[in-house]
Amino acid sequence: MSSVTQRICKIKQPWGGYIKRKDFNVVELDDRKILNLQENINPGLVGLAVDYLTRFIMGTSLKEAFKISLIGAILAKEEKKAKKLLLSIKGLDDSSIYNACKLVGYDVCYRAGMAGFKSIDKINPDKETIENISIMVQRSVLFWEQYGPIVKEGFTFEGGYTHIISTGDGDYLTRDTLWDFKVSKGELRSTHTLQLLVYYLMGIHSIHKEFLNIKNLGVYNPRKNKIYLLKIESIPQSVIDDVEYTVIGYNSKREDYKKILEENCKGGISNVTYIHKNKDHRFRTYNESNKNLSIKNSNREIKVGEYVLHPVFGQGKVLSISGNERNKIAEVDFKSEGLKKILVSYLTPTEY
C-alpha cells in the first residue's frame, strides 16, 4: 500500500497528464515583493514552514498547525526538544521562522519513516531564507483573505482509502474548492494535477460530507504568487473513471458513492458507517466491534489495548477493531479528542 504521493509517482500518465496544465485558469497576483534567489535549506522544509506558519498566523493553534511535526518528533524520541521549539514560535519574527524550519524537520519521520530523518541541528536557515519564508506567509494570508474562508484544513480520507492507497492528507477546503499549496519554483506539473484529482475522488468516497460541495480544484503557489483553478465539471468522465479504477483502486462509479455519502451524513459525521463495495458489487457496512481481532500495520500488529498516533488527533488507545481485510477500522480513545472511529491504515503504533 502507498501514500497518495507515492502512488502518483508510480503512474505513467497519458501525454501531458490526465489533467493538463493548460486546462487551468491562471491568476497572477502582484505584491511588488521580490524573493531572494538563494536559500540554504531544503525546499521541502521551506514549503512546510510556509504552510504551517500560515495556518498559525491565521488563527490555528500552534499544536494543531505543527501536529505532523510533533508526531514525527515523538517517533524520533525528541518530543521535549520539539515542544521547546514549538513554544518559541510567536509570529513572523526571524527567531520564530528559524525555529519553525527546525521543527518541520521532524515531519519526515511520520511521512516517510525514520530512515529519512536527519538531525534538525543541521537545519539552520540563513537571513535570505527567513526573509523569503516571511514574504510567502504574508502572500498566503492575503490569498486566503480573498479566496477564503477555509472550511476544512489538514483533512484525511477515512472511508476513502483502498488496498492501493492507504494514507494521504490534503491541505484546504473552502466552500466550493479543494486547494493544494505548492511552494515550488517551477510551474504546475502533471503529478500536481493528478494529486488534486485523487484528493477530490478520495474525498467523495470518504465520510466527509464537505466534499459534496466541491466544484473546483485549485492550487496556490506563494513562491510564484500564482493561482491555478479548474472546474471539475470540465474533466471528462472517462478520465475520472480511469483514475478511480487504475490509480486509486475503486470499482464503482462516483455517483454511487455520492448517494451513499449524502445518506450517511444526515446524522452527522460521527454517526457515519464505513461503506465499501465487495467483489460482488454489493454494498456492505462494517460497524460491529470484534475485540479479539488484530491487524498488521507498519511491519507489526496493532492490537486492542495498544497506543497509536494519528496525524490529526494525536495519541490514543485502541479500544476495538472491526471491518474487513482491506479496510480495518479501529475505535480509538484520543487524549484530546475523545472516541473516534479511524481507518487502521492511518494509525501508527507507538509507546505510551
Strands (E), the chain: 2-3, 25-28, 152-153, 165-167, 172-173, 177-181, 216-221, 226-231, 274-277, 283-286, 295-297, 300-302, 307-310, 314-323, 328-334, 338-343, 348-350
**Mean pLDDT, residues 169-192 taken together:** 94
The pLDDT value recorded for residue 326 is 55
Phi, then psi, of 223 in degrees rounded to 5: -70, -45
* Block residue for cell numbers 474487513: 324
Q: Give 326's DSSP letter.
A: S
Secondary structure (3-state) at 323: strand
Range(s) of the domain holding residue 314: 295-350
The pLDDT value recorded for residue 301 is 73
Same domain, 197 and 168: yes
**Mean pLDDT, residues 27-53 taken together:** 96
Same domain, 98 and 229: no
Phi, then psi, of 175 in degrees rounded to 5: -55, -40
**Mean pLDDT, residues 175-189 taken together:** 94
Domain annotation covers residue 137 = no
pTM above 0.75, yes or no: no
Q: Give the confidence band of 292 by pLDDT, cuts at 50, 70, 90.
A: very low
User: What whole-number distance in Å separates Cα of residue 110 and Cα of residue 78?
Assistant: 13
Cβ-contact 67, 311 below 8 angstroms:
yes
The pLDDT value recorded for residue 11 is 94
User: What whole-number distance in Å separates Cα of residue 38 and Cα of residue 132?
Assistant: 9
Same domain, 104 and 160: no
The C-alpha cell that represents 155 in the structure block: 483533512
Domain annotation covers residue 276 = no
More confident residue, 225 or 294: 225
120-139 tens-digit pLDDT: 999 999 999 999 999 999 99
Residue 245 has pLDDT above 60, yes or no: yes
Residue 149 has pLDDT above 60, yes or no: yes
Residue 65 has pLDDT above 80, yes or no: yes
Domain annotation covers residue 218 = yes
Residue 175 has pLDDT above 70, yes or no: yes
Same domain, 164 and 199: yes
Domain annotation covers residue 262 = yes
User: What whole-number distance in Å separates Cα of residue 262 and Cα of residue 103?
Assistant: 39
Helix axes 94-103, 127-147, angle to 10 degrees: 90
More confident residue, 277 or 236: 236
User: How many domains, in total, are found in the chain?
Assistant: 3
More confident residue, 285 or 351: 351
Same domain, 66 and 111: yes
Q: Give 224's DSSP letter.
A: T
Domain annotation covers residue 110 = yes
